[in-house]
Each structure stands twice: as C-alpha cells, then as structure tokens.
Amino acid sequence: MAAKTGAAAFMFVLFLVSVTCQAQLSPTFYDTSCPTATSTIRRAIRSAIASDRRMAASLIRLHFHDCFVQGCDASILLDETSSIQSEKTALGNMNSARGYNVIENAKTEVEKICPGVVSCADIIAVAARDASAYVGGPSYAVKLGRRDSTTASRTLANAELPAFFEDLESLISRFQKKGLTARDMVALSGSHTLGQAQCFTFRERIYNHSNVDAGFASTRKRRCPRVGSDSTLAPLDLVTPNSFDNNYFKNLMQNKGLLQSDQVLFNGGSTDSIVSEYSKNPAKFSSDFGSAMIKMGDIGLLTGSSGQNKEDLQCCQLDFLFFFFLQVSLRSSVQT
C-alpha cells in the first residue's frame, strides 16, 4: 500500500513539473527574478524612439518578423555562422529590418541588473508594446517567459514572411497558419500607420495598378521613378506617418494604400467591412491591435527547459521538489 502511495505522489509531482514548466507565460513572470526588467526595457525603448521616431515602427515590425519564423524566439537576432543561416539576410529582412541594436542595448541594460534572467525574445515583445505606447498606440499586457532560440532559418523566413505583392487570400492563409484570424491580420496591418517603405516595394502599384488614387500615385512617383532609386523611402501613411492612429484605414478606403498588400484589405473583398469599421472606430482598432499582438506573441514559444538565455527559477524550484518526492517514493517502496 505504501508503495502505491509513494508511486502516486511521484506521478503527481512529475505531472506538476511538466505542466508548470510548459505553461509558464505570464505578465508577472519576472516579478520575483527581475522586478525592474520591464521598466528598464521601457527606458531603453523610449530613448531610442526619442532619437529616431521611425524606430517605433521598426521595433513593432521586428517582433512580427521574429514571431512568424519559428515562433517568438529571438531567432531573428542571430548572426550568420557556419551552422546558422541568419534570418537577417532573408528577403523580407535584408536591408530592411531595423532595431537590432536597440534590442541589444536594452538587453545590456537588463543584464546589468539581472544577469542571465531575461530572454531576448521577451525583450523584443516588450519593446514592440512600448514602441506602440510611446507613439500613441495601445499599451497591453505582454505575457513573458519565452526562451531564446539557438537556431535560425533563412529558408523559413523567405517562405513564411508575408510579401508586399501578395493578394488577400494568400495573406489570410498565411495568418491562419499562425493561428491568427482575418480580423487579427487587418488589425496587425494597421501598424502600417507607422513607418516607411522602399520604392521597389510600391513601384509596381503606383505605375501599373488601377485601384490607386491618381493624386496619391503622382505624389509617390516624384521620388520613385520607373527605374532606379530602389531604396528611396516613402511613408506608409502619408497623413500622420509618426503617430499611431487609424488614418491607415481611412487611406485604404480612398485607394491610398502604399503597398499592394495594404490595398487588398479594402478592394471589394472579405476584409472591407473590418477596414471600414476601424476607419470609423479608432478605439476598436486600438483594442483589437493589442489583442492581436498578444495572440501573435504566443506563436511557437520556447519555454521551460527549451532554448537558452535565461534562468528558469520556477522549474529549478520544481526540480528540487521532484527529487524530494522521488526519494520519498523510493523509500516507501523499500519499506513494503
């Protein structure tokens, strides 16, 4: 009987260890191990955006591009090595993705107070939230407890990041594969109320598409000729390019979306009603954007003993309990 009791206790604690170590994301994850982590990150992000307003868009995009490839695991930060094909050189990131140094600076500041505790994946997620809030967008509760990947994949990045020339059905399919709805997709696309795009990404649209406002196209052509100037930048939102608001959706309803992947959201398709709703209701857009960012932050997580870069105090404590109860179980078995 004692053996059965000991075995039952052992199995219960084994189950507890497994569940806790796998399901540990929480906004309060660092409250004990590094209580000033998020405030330290926030200061670093605010300082970076104060120096370069465009950085807000870049940090939100960095989080998105991280999560869509292998999940939200900071694999986008890994440099090229003999065993790693860096995602930095993928088509959607090369000479485009920005903010790596901002994340590194935030990590450096956090390491000063809590060495080896906070993951880069969590810093990227918090940075995106703080970037949004700094420029007038929503602030939302970021779930924490991710671990960092030891691998990256340029091949996956090239295959899974949405492209600027894609049609609506392709985009919806991409987001659905990541567990995101069409509404999530439209809300997340609303981050294009910030930032800029390079000429080569919208040249085809302003010269050859019919669903583009003539005056808008003419303005964009001034700095984006048919040939050359590929890297010349233009704001995704011509009206308020440095503020988080719902003008992006108003622009789409006037055929003033800069990228094809923007304008397809309002072009007689299934997402027209969502765009129209957000254009009239900025509060709803803000709320849905925050919810979609939280949802996106759950993609393909590394937690518990997976990955690298931070100490997992909860699981360490449970490991101690695990071995304690193992000893009790074994002693009970011997006594029978």
Active-site amino acid positions: 65
Going by C-beta distance under 8 Å and a sequence separation of 6 or more, which residues neighbour residue 205? Answer: 212, 217, 258, 259, 260, 263
SS3 content of the chain, % helix, strand, coil (to 5): 55, 5, 40
φ, ψ for residue 34 (rounded to 5)?
-160, 75
What is the three-class DSSP state of 234? Answer: strand
Q: Is residue 102 within 8 Å of residue 48, measured between CB atoms? A: yes
Residue 236 contacts residue 197 (beta carbons within 8 Å): yes
Contact yes or no for 157/33 (Cβ under 8 A): no
The answer to whether the CB of 17 falls within 8 A of the CB of 90 is no
User: What are the backbone angles phi and psi of residue 123, rounded to the nearest 5°?
Assistant: -65, -40
Q: Are the C-beta atoms of 207 and 263 separated by less than 8 Å?
A: no
Q: In degrees rounded to 5, what are phi and psi of residue 193?
A: -70, -15
Cα gap 263→211, rounded to integer Å: 8
Inter-CA distances, 182 with 142, 159, 174, 266, 272, Å:
22, 20, 10, 13, 11
- Tokens for 267? 């072009």
CB 247 within 8 A of CB 240: yes
Coil, strand or helix at 198? strand
Q: At residue 235, what are phi and psi to the nearest 5 degrees? A: -70, 140
26: helix, strand or coil:
strand
